[in-house]
Amino acid sequence: MDEKLVIKGYEYAKEVYAGRGVDVDKAIEAMKGVPISMNCWQADDVLGFDGDDTLSGGIATTGNYPGRARTADELRADADKAMSMIPGEKKFNLHASYANLNGRKIERSEYTADLFSEWMDWAKERGMGLDFNPTYFSHPMVKDGFTLASPDKAVRDYWIEHGKRCREIGEAFYKTLGKECVINYWMPDGYKDTPADTAAPRARMIDSLDKIFAEKIDEKLVLEGVESKLFALGLESYTVGSHELMMGYAITRNKLYCLDAGHFHPTEVISNKISSIMQYMPELLLHVSRPVRWDSDHVVTMDDELMAIMQQVVRNGYTQRVKIALDFFDASINRLAAWIIGTRNARKALLRANLENTAELKKLELDADFTARLALTEEDKTLPFGAIWDYYCLKEGVPVGEDWLKEVRDYEKNVMSARG
């Protein structure tokens, strides 16, 4: 896009927003330093590098677009290319299954930080932080659909040790990179059909988590969260880690609670839950996704719910207390493009939320002038936000508008097509 045209559009938009009481430069400054954690599993369909290229544990990827990353080197190359077209501060979110095993057979209960040395070196070169997730799925030690809540003590002990090892790895990420590391625990334990005993598995889950977290670590540097879910494939009737269980655990154990946009009933949205949970918790973890009738993890688009999520974060002053991570994976389109579209949209929504005159809207609300509140909220939707976004991309040195698509096509032709 023509640079002069972008600047001209920005100058016009800046005047329009000034008329609404918004300082555009301050809005950009407030937004650009908020990190968004990009999920590694978009590049390879959540397969990782420590298994047999099969998924289990209530996870499914649809599509078979050519060019999937098959090695850690390919995944890092794809991530570098994607991040070169995404503005703003970024982190990279790893699962334990992306360890550098180099052909060795190492149990997840024996993982150590050195298995992630290449990831740490890569992140350090880029001045970027790493987040982390234990991998409680796609493994033969997931017995009858259970890990930490298994009735078999040997199974529980295996996964408890995995959780402990992941804490040590997360600490190593912080010590090496000097960046806060968020470790999120999601366990797909549950039953396909209605169980006779719903209490015992939950008691075992709590006991297992308590054992994992027994040793104290510096929680200001390594933040630990637990994630809930309504159901998953093969776990339609009962999920051990329900919302009530995991939120209660997080509150009573001083852990992060992870709200995933796809982990609720289809008519529920997480945007309306954020301010409620923040009354009780100092910090919150968000998994930003796009569920289509279930937890389908579609690529994030700039829809009403994405905007509402970011508005809640910004309007309530939560930008330093809410950790934003992405959780989507789509194998039906170019995976690099999916990464770029989803992450740029999350950043766009965050910018647009900062371009709102929230103080004015809150005053109108207190004055019971609901007519003006609705009128201004709706008029805000047609303000020239796109011109501000284009200028921001220009200043960040990333492609403006759809210019990134040609770069993706070239990369697909010259790099990804050779993978088959």
Q: Give me the catalytic one of 81, 91, 95, 263.
A: 263
Cα angle 316-361-30, degrees, rounded to a multiple of 5: 45
Annotated catalytic, 356?
no
- Where on the phi/psi map is residue 293: left (φ > 0), alpha (ψ -120 to 50), or beta? left
Phi-psi category of 230—alpha, beta or left, where left has phi over 0 and alpha has psi -120 to 50?
alpha
Q: Which of 327, 330, 356, 390 is catalytic?
A: 327
- Give the pairing type, strands 190-191 and 238-239: antiparallel
Q: Are 325 and 37 in contact (CB under 8 A)?
A: yes
DSSP 420: -
Name the DSSP class of 366: H
Helix, strand or coil, per DSSP, at residue 91:
strand
Catalytic, 297? Answer: yes
**Candidate list 45, 78, 224, 227, residue with the active-site label:** 227
Query: Is 143 assigned a catalytic role?
Result: no
In the set 260, 305, 356, 390, the catalytic residue is 260
Closest CA to 335 of 40, 86, 68, 84: 68
287 is annotated as an active-site residue? yes
DSSP string, 396-412: HTS--TTHHHHHHHHHH
DSSP H helices in 254-384: 274-277, 304-315, 335-354, 358-366, 370-380
> Which residues, other chains included, contact 59 with Cβ-Cβ below 8 Å and sequence gap of 6+?
46, 137, 138, 188, 232, 233
Tokens of 236: 């339609």
Active site residue 304: no
Q: Which of 14, 90, 162, 229 is catalytic?
A: 229
Annotated active-site residue in 287, 298, 323, 348: 287
Within 10 angstroms of residue 15's Cβ, the number of other Cβ atoms is: 11
- Please pick, among 224, 295, 305, 390, the residue that the annotation labels catalytic: 295
The single-letter code of the amino acid at 222 is: V
Which residue of the set 41, 119, 122, 186 is catalytic? 186
Q: Which of 105, 137, 132, 103 is nearest to 116 (CA)?
A: 132
**For residues 45 and 383, is the Cβ–Cβ distance under 8 A?**
no
Task: Quote the CA–CA distance of 377 and 358 in Å, as a whole number.
Answer: 10
Selecting among 297, 330, 356, 390, the annotated active-site residue is 297
Q: Does the annotation mark 186 as catalytic?
A: yes
Q: To which residue do tokens 């954690």 refer?
A: 37
DSSP H helical ranges for 178-259: 199-212, 243-253
- Is 25 catalytic? The answer is no
Give catalytic residue positions: 186, 227, 229, 260, 263, 287, 295, 297, 327
